[in-house]
Amino acid sequence: SSCSETCPVVSSSLVIMATFCTHPLRAAAAAAATVLLLSRGSESRLGDRQLTGSHGQSQSLHGFQYYASSTIYGDTPMTSCGSLDTRELVRGTEYFAVASAQAMQADFDTEAHGGGCSWECQTASGTKIDRCTYEHPAGTLSNSFPIAGCSCRQVGACMCGKAGPGTGTASGTAPMGCFTCGRGHFLQRNPYQLDSQDGYQLNGKEIKVVVADVCPYGPNTKWCPAVPGEQNIAGALNHFDFATTPDVKYDNNFFVFTPEVCSDELLRRMRNATSCPASTWPGAAVER
């Protein structure tokens, strides 16, 4: 979809301008939400190895391990993964820079760069609550809205996150913190046609992604789960916010993927550019 509206969104410790696509989508920053899904007619098991759609069909993940929703926020010269420049990081490579949901990198050094990554939420009347829940019409996330006018804010810098306990195939939340990579494929399925019969067909070609930023829950309650095992409004356990628009017919399509080791060149670039301490480097954080 074409992106026409721009709004300030917190990505890492910075306020940047992130693009929202025509069906208002939250792009950037992450963490969790116990989301109220009212579209029970299109209920799906997402993030699992099998996706069961509203018509009872069982769809595979095309050989990939995980399932994610996606948005686009635009390149930035400063990210949560140690001030990486998303455009320069992937220039001349086959990779797309992404911000991963807070749930996918929920382990933050409480002493580095302002410390930790949490959130505070309240209703429109000022009542403190732990999470926001959403309502939306059956079969589509168009015209969705937070119940009781709920809103949240980020607490902490959310810098240099790495995959924490609870990530992995058992929970369905991928271990994708800073400096991790993966390969994957977009599906035809998007959040506005959840009942589409051909939604689980592949869309475009396989691509590679590298996590250069975080999508914190606080400013992005709609899309970015807070802790492993929690789903977003779309029922997905994972979310990627792309810095660059993928070369596919794109309308916030869902994405299937598998973590893998980054290329030597990309690892060299990240090690040379990041300001994150050595203790936050993921090492063997991805499943091999």
Whole-number mean pLDDT of the chain? 79
Other CB atoms within a 10 A radius of the CB of residue 115 amount to: 15
Tokens 């709004």 locate to 7
**Higher confidence at residue 7 or residue 221?**
221
Q: What is the mean pLDDT of residues 278-285?
A: 66
Q: Which residues contact 264 (CB under 8 A, 6 or more apart)?
A: none
User: Does the pLDDT of residue 48 top 80, yes or no?
Assistant: no
Residue 283: pLDDT band with limits 50, 70, 90: low
Q: What is the mean pLDDT of residues 133-143?
A: 91
Cα gap 71→241, rounded to integer Å: 5
pTM: 0.79
CA distance between the termini of the chain: 35
**Residue closest to 251 by CA, chosen among 28, 11, 69:** 69
List, for residues 191-208, the tens digit of each pLDDT value. 999 888 888 899 999 999
DSSP for the chain, please give it.
--EEEEEEEEETTEEEEEEEESS----S-B---------GGG----SSSEEE-TTS-EEE-TT-SEEEEEEE----S--TTTS--HHHHHTTSSEEEEEEEGGGG-B--SSSTT---EEEEE-TT--EES---EE--TT--TT-EEGGG-EEEEES---S-B--TT-BTTTTB----TT-EEEEEEES--TT-TT-TTTTSEEEEEEEEEEEEEEBTTT-TTT--SSTT---TTS-SEEEEESS--SS--SS--EEEEEEPPPHHHHHHHHHH--S-GGG--SS-S--
CB 244 within 8 A of CB 76: no
Q: Which residues contact 256 (CB under 8 A, 6 or more apart)?
A: 61, 62, 64, 66, 67, 68, 184, 185, 187
What pLDDT is recorded for position 225?
97
26-35, 231-240, 259-268: least confident range: 26-35
Tokens 């926001």 locate to 132
What pairing do the DSSP bridges indicate for beta strands 238-242 and 66-72?
parallel
User: Does the pLDDT of residue 17 top 90, yes or no?
Assistant: no
**Higher confidence at residue 245 or residue 225?**
225
Cα gap 190→148, rounded to integer Å: 26
User: Does the pLDDT of residue 39 top 70, yes or no?
Assistant: no
User: Does the pLDDT of residue 185 top 60, yes or no?
Assistant: yes
User: Does the pLDDT of residue 240 top 50, yes or no?
Assistant: yes
CB 244 within 8 A of CB 85: no
**Higher confidence at residue 143 or residue 70?**
70
Cα gap 198→187, rounded to integer Å: 9
User: Does the pLDDT of residue 13 top 90, yes or no?
Assistant: no
8-17, 87-96, 251-260: least confident range: 8-17
Structure tokens at 202: 């592949």
User: Does the pLDDT of residue 62 top 70, yes or no?
Assistant: yes
